[in-house]
Amino acid sequence: MLDPQAHWLLKLLLDNGVPPIQTQTPTQARLGYESRKSFSQPEPIQMHLVEDHWVVVDDEKIKVRRYIADGVLNHDRGGALIYLHGGGWTIGSIESHDVMCRELSAKAQCQVFSVDYRLAPESPFPAAYNDAVAVFRWLQEQIKTHDEWRLDPQKVAMGGDSAGGNLASAACIGLLGDPIRPCFQLLIYPATNMLCTSNSHKTLGRGYLLTKEAIDWFSGHYIQNPKDLEDWRASPLLAPSHEGLPAAFVLVAGFDPLRDEGLEYADALSKAGVATEVVNFERQIHGFITMGRILREANTAVSLCALSLKAALS
């Protein structure tokens, strides 16, 4: 059964004639996505510190926002999460996931670094992947040179939702050869196979917010060369090996077309000997975790993610 609050949301969008994302330009879709934030998201938690930094990747500057909740700096050499927002590599921003990052910092008692990675179609694959890897390496350099940041270089996790989960998981693979690698991956309904061959794409591709047409719209902007669909940087499930990757917490939603590929990725990690936890919010839709103002289970999901993250960084 679909969660009644999620059912109400889907009916509300339909009754109000909200245009499907695939009928919009990327600019229109971005504005619409940001404008719905005040309707669906909780009030932002006050932070001890919020500050912006700039990281140069491929001769372009991207913004990284640092969040420190009250009490976080009481921990000597604590941990951090690099967070990559969802939005199909085409929409979303630091601002769209500001509330989420504040909550994770407060509830997990860690610093959070939210990445305003480059978006498609202006910057197609592998730009966003390159940004994710570069920010991890940038943070490692900051930890070396900024003792006052009070971070442990061995306690830096990667995480994200949807497209952000895709980027976090791919970055963990790409960083396997680095001297210091991510210690944990927090994957919230991640896209892991751009070929979209799992059964949930067939059974849940209509009527549950994220549709087949929307997925095609997103992936068409991000992946402009069809051969790249099978590149593990775009489809981490298709990587030759998943051995040696950091422990993972994988959250999926029962009425999400991406559900099965998230579960398949969790299984691939487990088969490779990676400590992996999986939670399925069986009655929820894709994108629900940021909607805590209107979906009660979203708040439960954020708290669960924070609990797992806090344990991994402790």
pTM over 0.85: yes
Q: Which listed residue (231, 256, 260, 308) is catalytic?
A: 256
For 122-164, how does the pLDDT look when each residue is reduced to its tens digit (9 = 90+)? 999 999 999 999 999 999 999 999 999 999 999 999 999 999 9
Domains contained in the chain, CATH given: 4-12+28-313 (3.40.50.1820)
pLDDT of residue 75: 76
Please give the helix or strand (H or E) that residue 43 lies within, else none: none
Q: Which listed residue (123, 162, 198, 200) is catalytic?
A: 162
Active site residue 198: no
Residue found under tokens 């993972």? 248
Q: Burial level of 113, CB count in 10 A (0-12/13-18/19+)?
A: buried
Active site residue 286: yes
DSSP assignment string, 233-301: TT-GGGSS--TTPPEEEEEEEEE-TTHHHHHHHHHHHHHTT--EEEEEEEEEETTGGG-TTT-HHHHHH
> Which one-letter DSSP state was computed for residue 52?
E
User: How many residues can be counted in the chain?
Assistant: 314
Q: From CA 137, how far away is CA 175, in angstroms rounded?
A: 9
pLDDT of residue 76: 82
For 84-121, how does the pLDDT look when each residue is reduced to its tens digit (9 = 90+)? 999 999 999 999 999 999 999 999 999 999 999 999 99
Active site residue 75: no
CA angle 89, 93, 98 (to 5 degrees): 135
